[in-house]
Amino acid sequence: MSATMNLKVLSLAVLVGLSLAGCNDDNSNSNNNVNPPVVQEQKTGSVELKVFDNDSGDLLKDAQITVLKTTLSAKSNAEGTAKVEKVPVGRSILQISKAGYADQVIVVNLAEKQALSGIVVQLIPLELGGSVAATTGGTINLPNSTAQVVIPANGLRRVDGQPIQGNVNVNIALINTAQEIRNMPGDLATVVNNTRAPLESFGAMVVDLRDSSGAKVTLAQNQWSTIRIPLMTRGTAPATIPLYYFDPELGYWLQDGSQQLTLEKNAAGEFFYTGRSSTLNTVNADIPYATSRVSGCLNDEKGQRVANAQILLEGKNYSGYSLVNTNANGEFSIDAKQNSTVLIGGQANALRSNTVEQEVKTANLTLNQCLTLTEASQNVTVRLSWGKNPEDVDSHLIAPDGSHIYFRNQGSLLQHPFVNLDVDNVDSYGPEIVTINKLMVGDYQYLVHNYSGTQNPGLFASPIKVELNTPKGTQIFTPASVSGETVLWHAFKLTVADNCEMTVTPVKKWLATDPNFAPKAVKYCSKS
C-alpha cells in the first residue's frame, strides 16, 4: 500500500570513499592510508505549531506531538506551542494527541533547513456517548446528535492484544466539515489510479474506544459496526456515498472496501448518513471530485516572490480543501473542484496573505495578481466562522479613526484605511476574512453581528469562532454563555503603538446596543 501511495521515505545515505594516499612497498596491503567512511547527514528542517481547544479556543498544554515513523516528539508548553527539530525533508506526518481529545494529524512537506512555524492545530474534545460490555455490545447514541455507533457482541479487541478490562467507553467527536474543514486530519485526499485525489466531505466523526484501564480498543477482524454520521456540508448531499476512514500511517483517506452510506432523516428532520464500518476510528462520508488547476504566485510587501510558503485553497460552496507549497520562484498550482467558488490564501510561518475569492469552471486558470504578504510588523488578519444558523453573521472592524469595515463598506488594501473585507458570506458557516495592510496608531475593535436576527439558535449556540492572526501568532475567541442573548458580540481590541507594537485585549462581551468608539486622528505606525 505504501508503494501505491508513492510516499517519500527518506533514509540515511552513507557515502564511502576509499582512496589511497600513497603506496608502501614494504606493506602494499596496509589500510593505514585508507580514508574512513564519510557519513552524510540527513537533510532536515523544523516544525513549530500551536495547539488549541477547538470549542473554547483555549491554549492546550502537554499535547503530545509525534512524527510518525520516527523517534521524534515534543510536548506543547503553557502557551500551547511545540517545536520538533530535525524533521526529515519531504513529506512527514505529525500526530497531535491529548487525553480527552480526538487525535489530530497534519501533513507537512519540508525543504532543507526550513523552519516551518505558525501552524494552528485545533483539537476536538471527545464526548462520552456511553459504555458497553465487550461480550454483549450495544447501541450508543451521542446526546443532542444523530451520531450513533452500534457495537457487535464479542466484536472488540484491545489494540495491544491484551484482554479487555471491564466495560468499553465509547467516546465520539464530531468534525464540523461545513464550518471547519481545516480540522480534517491529514490530506483531505485519497488515491485513485496512483494519483492523489482530493475529497469533498459530507460529515465525519471520530470514534474512540477505551476499556476501564484506558487502553485503546477497536473492532476485531471481520467484525462490522453500524454507524450514523450527522450530515455536515456546504454542498448538495448525494443519496448514497462511499465510506472512507483515515489511515494515520499513510496520511491519506482510504475507502472502506465497497461500503456505501445511505442518507436518511429522523422525525425531527435531521439528516445523517448510515451504513456499516469495518474500522472504528476516524470515518468520513465523502467522494472524490473532478478538479481544475489554479495557478498563482505569492509576493512579500516589496514585491519579491516567497518560496516554500503554504497555499491553502478551501471551498466556499463545498466542504473540501487543498494545500501546497510555493516553489523556489514563489509560484504554485493547486487543485480546486470544478464549477465551484474557492478561497485562496498564503501563509509564510506567522504571516498571512490576503485572501482571494475565485470562481472555478472546468478549465485551468491563473490568478490575475499575486497574493501578497503584508510587511511583517503590520501583518494582521481576522477570520470569522459560525454554524448553519444564523445564516448571515457579519464581521465588523472599526479602525482607530472610526473607519468601519463591514459588508456595506468593504474597504481597500491599497488606500486608506488599508483594511479590506476579503470575503463576505451570507449562506451559513463563513468564513468572513478581514486583512489589514497598514496599521493606524490606536485601538481597532472587532465585533460580530447576527444580521439574520434569529435567536434559535443565536450567536452563542451557533457556534461563533474568531481567529486573530498577528506576527506574534494566533489567538482564538469564542463567546461565553449569556442569559437573554443579544445579537452583537465584542470579541477583542487590538491596540497599536507608534512603533507598530501590538497588544491584544480579549473583550468577549455581549452588547445590547451599537457601541460608540471615540475616533482619533489618522496616524499610521512606523517600525523605524
Residue type, 523: K
Count Cβ atoms within 10 A of the Cβ of residue 7 and give its class: 0-12 exposed, 13-18 middle, 19 or more buried: middle
Residue 454: what pLDDT? 85
Fold observed for domain 127-288 = Chondroitinase Ac; Chain A, domain 3 (2.60.220)
- Phi first, then psi: what are they for 230, rounded to 5°? -60, 140
Q: What is the rounded CA–CA span in Å between residue 234 and residue 424?
A: 15
- Nearest Cα to Cα of residue 271 among 230, 241, 308: 230
Residue type, 81: T
Question: At which residue does the C-alpha cell 508503494 appear?
Answer: 3
C-alpha distances in angstroms, 110 versus 83, 187, 302, 423? 14, 15, 25, 30
Q: What is the rounded CA–CA span in Å between residue 367 and residue 345?
A: 12
What number of H helices and E strands is found in the chain?
Answer: 0, 41
pLDDT in tens, 230-279: 999 998 999 999 999 999 999 999 999 999 999 999 999 999 999 999 99
- Nearest Cα to Cα of residue 93 among 66, 63, 125, 114: 66
Beta strands in 133-177 (DSSP E): 138-141, 148-151, 156-158, 168-175
Cβ neighbours of residue 516 under 8 Å, at least 6 residues apart? Answer: none
Q: Do domains 14-123 and 375-528 have the same CATH topology?
A: no
Question: Check: CATH 2.60.60.30 for 375-528?
Answer: yes
- Nearest Cα to Cα of residue 238 among 301, 289, 310: 289
pTM for the full predicted model: 0.89
Q: What is the rounded CA–CA span in Å between residue 182 and residue 176?
A: 10
Cell numbers standing for residue 200: 469533498
Q: What is the rounded CA–CA span in Å between residue 88 and residue 109?
A: 9
Task: Compute CA 120 distance to the chain's CA centroid, rounded to the nearest angstrom.
Answer: 7
Question: What CATH architecture does domain 290-373 belong to?
Answer: Sandwich (2.60)
Task: Compute CA 39 distance to the chain's CA centroid, rounded to the nearest angstrom.
Answer: 38
Q: 212 with 167: CB under 8 angstroms?
A: yes
75: β partners: 64
Cell numbers standing for residue 448: 460580530
Question: At which residue does the C-alpha cell 454542498 appear?
Answer: 235
Cβ neighbours of residue 80 under 8 Å, at least 6 residues apart? Answer: 50, 51, 52, 59, 60, 61, 63
Question: At which residue does the C-alpha cell 484491545 appear?
Answer: 158
Cell numbers standing for residue 9: 521515505
Mean pLDDT, each 10-residue run in order, the chain (528 residues): 35 29 39 52 92 96 97 97 96 96 96 94 97 97 96 97 97 96 93 92 97 96 97 95 95 94 96 95 95 98 95 97 96 98 96 97 98 94 95 97 98 96 96 97 98 86 93 93 81 97 96 93 92
At 528 the three-state DSSP class reads: coil
At 378 the three-state DSSP class reads: helix
Burial 191-203, CB ≥16 within 10 A → b, else e: beeeebbbbbbbb
- Phi first, then psi: what are they for 128, rounded to 5°? -80, 115
Q: What is the rounded CA–CA span in Å between residue 461 and residue 283?
A: 25
Q: What is the rounded CA–CA span in Å between residue 433 and residue 449?
A: 14
Q: What is the rounded CA–CA span in Å between residue 209 and residue 526?
A: 54
Q: 37 with 14: CB under 8 angstroms?
A: yes
457 prior amide bond cis, ω within 30: yes
Q: Is 164 left (phi over 0), alpha (psi -120 to 50) or beta?
A: beta
Q: What is the rounded CA–CA span in Å between residue 274 and residue 400?
A: 52
3-class DSSP string for 220-241: CCCCCEEEEEECCCCCCCCCEE
pLDDT in tens, 45-76: 999 999 999 999 999 999 999 999 999 999 99
**Within a 10 A sphere around the Cβ of 478, how many other Cβ atoms?**
18
- Nearest Cα to Cα of residue 46 among 87, 8, 106, 94: 87
- DSSP track, 51-62: EEETTT--B-SS
Question: Check: CATH 3.40.50.1820 for 14-123?
Answer: no
C-alpha distances in angstroms, 247 versus 1, 188, 347, 486? 11, 11, 27, 43
The residues spanned by each domain of the chain are: 14-123, 127-288, 290-373, 375-528
